[in-house]
Amino acid sequence: MTSLASPSLRQRHPLPSVPRPIVLIGAGGIANDAHLPAYGKARFPVAGVLDADPAKARATAQRWGIARVFQSLQEAATAVPGCVFDVAAPPVAHEAILAALPEGAAVLIQKPLGLDLTQATAIRAVCRARRLRAAVNFQLRFSPMMLAVADALEQGLLGRLLDIEVHLSLRTPWELFPHLKGNPRVEIVSHSIHYLDTIRALAGEPRQVLARTYHFPGSELADTRTSAILDYGDELRVTLSINHHSDFGRRFQDATFRVEGERGAALVKLGLLLDYPRGEPDELWVAPRGGPWTPVALEGKWFPDAFIGTMSNVQRFAAGEDKVLKTSVEDAWHTMALVESCYK
């Protein structure tokens, strides 16, 4: 019997038995920093790449040994029968890209699912109309550390869930994301959406939410700090406290995701976010009520290993190996609805 004294926790989503070729649409930072390192590590074949900037697509192909650079969306959509499409483009482009893909195609869409619920609903309509087997790349829930937390809850090792708290106090280099300038919504829809999606995966749908986002003086972005309370009734407390502008040295900076139950607790250190993009090691600690805390050895990192998980789930679902598409567009729409409620 597994216990928190010697936990044996699931940290990986199973790989597809026969990986399908991947057609990558979008060759920006997230594709080069996470998608392609993940596919290289998992030995997933990437058949070709397309980008609105042909020079960027050629550079990405040369860097990662991708044989083919597509010249148009129509070419990318038809060149590789039976592929999985990885749409790593900005959310404003999702609807048009998805409408051009073959009916019934398997697709992984970079998060978020649009910039607001109206866009998310329109994208969902396209996926329904074209019968796309489409998921959104909400990968935090597929990271080794969060898979382990979910497994601890499923095994009953923590007991009944009582508390979830996400706390960030650090400096995020927003200058690395110039495409966010001018967006009327930034922090929740681009960052804290990861936590909201993972909380939904762990605890289900909240009854309501109270949230507030804040502008930081001198920032070119609309909002970069957030406080939120998710209402799950009288017993389960869920809260987010997010500050991306705590630039006073590393000592008291923090990036943690804490889950507590009747019997035990788990604490995740989101190491990637500390000194991003270089980051620090992710950590997972567990403790029975009364202690002590014990570290759990992790088999991988948020980046790139979580991206292996999301692509594996899409591939396995398309092949009939997985019965559930965990971050399907239908499920992701509910994460977007929660984001919308936070902004309201």
Question: Residue 49 sits in which domain range?
Answer: 22-140+306-324
Residues 6 or more apart whose Cβ sits within 8 Å of residue 333: 113, 120, 121, 124
Question: How many domains, in total, are found in the chain?
Answer: 2
Q: How confident is the model at residue 306 (pLDDT cuts 50, 70, 90)?
A: very high
Kindly state whether residue 7 falls inside one of the protein's structural domains.
no
In 3-state terms the chain splits into helix, strand, coil percentages (rounded to 5) of: 35, 25, 40
Q: Is position 333 within any domain?
A: no
- 116 located within any domain: yes
Q: How far apart are CA 155 and CA 83, in angstroms?
A: 36
Tell me the percentage of the chain whose pLDDT exceeds 90: 96
Assess whether 133 and 212 both reside in one domain.
Answer: no
Distance in angstroms (rounded) separating the CA atoms of residues 240 and 163: 11
The per-residue pLDDT for range 239-296, each reduced to its tens digit, is 999 999 999 999 999 999 999 999 999 999 999 999 999 999 999 999 999 999 999 9
The reply to whether 62 and 181 lie within a common domain is no
| Residue 5 maps to a domain | no
Q: Are residues 199 and 173 in the same domain?
A: yes
My answer on whether 152 and 282 are in the same domain is yes
In a domain, residue 242? The reply is yes
CATH of the domain at 134: 3.40.50.720
Distance, CA of 9 to CA of 298 (rounded, Å):
10
273 and 214: one domain? yes
Residue pLDDT, tens place only, 88-134: 999 999 999 999 999 999 999 999 999 999 999 999 999 999 999 99
CA-to-CA distance for 109 and 98, rounded, in angstroms?
9
- Give 134's contacts (C-beta < 8 A, 6+ positions apart): 98, 106, 107, 108, 109, 127, 328, 329
Task: Return the SS3 of 278.
Answer: coil
pLDDT value of residue 4:
77
Tell whether 314 and 296 lie within a shared domain: no
| Domain CATH for 297 | 3.30.360.10
Confidence of residue 223 (pLDDT cuts 50, 70, 90): very high
The burial class, CB within 10 Å (0-12 / 13-18 / 19+), for 21 is middle
Q: Are 154 and 298 in the same domain?
A: yes
Q: What is the pLDDT averaged over residues 65-92?
A: 97
